[in-house]
Amino acid sequence: MTWGVPWGVPAGRQSTLRHHVTIAGVGVHSGLPATITLHPAEANTGVVFMRCGTGGQPDRELRAHFRSVTATEFATVLGDKNGPAISTTEHVLAALHALGVDNAVIEVDGPEIPIMDGSAAPFVAAIDQAGIIALAPSRRYIQVLKPVRVAKGDSYGELRPNLRGLRIETEIQFDHPLIGRQTFAVDLEPDLFRRDLARARTFGFMRDVAKLWSAGYALGASVENTVVVAEDRVLNPEGVRYADEFVRHKVVDAIGDLALSGASLIGAYRSVRGGHKLNHAVLTALMADRSAWTYVEMPETRRPRGHAELGIGFALPAYGPDVS
Ligand SMILES: [Zn+2]
């Protein structure tokens, strides 16, 4: 375990990007082109989206925070009292969070974050290009103290205590011969995210396309940015990147959605037949129950050396979580 701390950044310290970096593409839902620039930001900024290029209107600043979520249908949309502002935030947020970048400003000149190849890998590459540096203040974590569960129909999600860091357990079940039931569980760390998760792409079913298009979704979707699942095969000529690419992508989505806690979660998240809506509902339920979580810091002076000891350095609450 590395607690999401990137190489070169001392454990327990905040981080940001060393340089800015720009990437461009189209939105998978809007089909509209957009350019985003990831900028370094001061400690305690968190991740902030800056929606610019709105035709003479002032730029809109939106915290990457669960309270900024305005919609969760097929993507996580952030906005404010003036309405939705930026769609499909989850993959860039997953990449920043998984690589341990606490502070960044994401400047966006369109209504949707570009989908790139449908995965988080292009954002990982951009962050690697920019570099990551340590900042002086301590990183703040949100430690889950007791289980919080949300059920919706045949899906459910829960966050429970897990002192080893952020763990994601995801199960999907699709009535489709190519997918069926898939499960994936992971204790998040940067190298593992790069290797096992970052390249997993967005997926969609041919059978849903007409319905999605008529509702204004997936207008920019193609085999360039989506694993397109037909009745008996994947339409992408190159096939899938992992045999269980579908569930791995759901893990990426969950990491991006949980990053909207505004801190690093210390807890285990389990999602069964869920998606953006469930991820948001569980995080909202956790944060609404003030007895279910607490802020903790890992003071640098108490930083443990060995992986097995990593829980020890945390300033744990006196009443103690359920660690069994
Ligand atoms: Zn996704």
| Degrees to nearest 5, angle at CA 9 with 8 and 13 | 170
Predicted confidence at residue 319, as pLDDT, reads 32
What is the mean predicted confidence (pLDDT) over 181-204? 97
Tell whether the model's pLDDT for residue 311 goes beyond 80. Answer: no
| Range with lowest mean pLDDT among 130-144, 196-210, 259-273, 291-305 | 291-305
Tell whether the model's pLDDT for residue 2 goes beyond 50. Answer: no
Q: For 99-127, how does the pLDDT look when each residue is reduced to its tens digit (9 = 90+)? A: 999 999 999 999 999 999 999 999 999 99
Q: What span, in angstroms and rounded, lies between the C-alpha atoms of 160 and 323?
A: 10
Predicted confidence at residue 251, as pLDDT, reads 98
Going by pLDDT thresholds of 50, 70 and 90, the confidence category of residue 8 is low
Catalytic residues: 276
What is the mean predicted confidence (pLDDT) over 224-231? 94
Predicted confidence at residue 56, as pLDDT, reads 77
Tell whether the model's pLDDT for residue 213 goes beyond 50. Answer: yes
Residues 6+ apart with CB under 8 A from 64: 46, 47, 48, 49, 78, 89, 93, 106, 259, 260, 262
Using DSSP bridges, classify how beta strands 77-80 and 21-26 pair: parallel, antiparallel or unpaired: unpaired
Strands (E), the chain: 13-17, 21-26, 33-40, 47-51, 60-63, 69-71, 77-80, 83-86, 104-108, 132-138, 140-144, 148-152, 155-160, 166-174, 180-187, 203-205, 227-229, 264-272, 293-297
Predicted confidence at residue 310, as pLDDT, reads 37
Q: For 154-177, how does the pLDDT look when each residue is reduced to its tens digit (9 = 90+)? A: 999 999 999 999 999 999 999 999
Span from the CA of 124 to the centroid of ligand 1 (angstroms) = 15
Residue 63's nearest CA partner among 84, 79, 39, 52 is 79
Does pTM surpass 0.75? yes
Span from the CA of 308 to the centroid of ligand 1 (angstroms) = 32
Query: Phi-psi bin for 79: left (phi > 0), alpha (psi -120 to 50), beta?
Result: beta
Query: Phi-psi bin for 323: left (phi > 0), alpha (psi -120 to 50), beta?
Result: alpha
Span from the CA of 75 to the centroid of ligand 1 (angstroms) = 7
Tell whether the model's pLDDT for residue 55 goes beyond 80. Answer: no
Q: For 9-18, how does the pLDDT look when each residue is reduced to its tens digit (9 = 90+)? A: 777 899 999 9
Residue 247's nearest CA partner among 203, 190, 217 is 203
| Average pLDDT taken over every residue of the chain | 89
**For the chain, counts of helices (H) and of strands (E):** 6, 19
Tell whether the model's pLDDT for residue 218 goes beyond 60. Answer: yes
Share of the chain above pLDDT 90, in %: 81
| Degrees to nearest 5, angle at CA 107 with 101 and 113 | 85
Span from the CA of 137 to the centroid of ligand 1 (angstroms) = 32
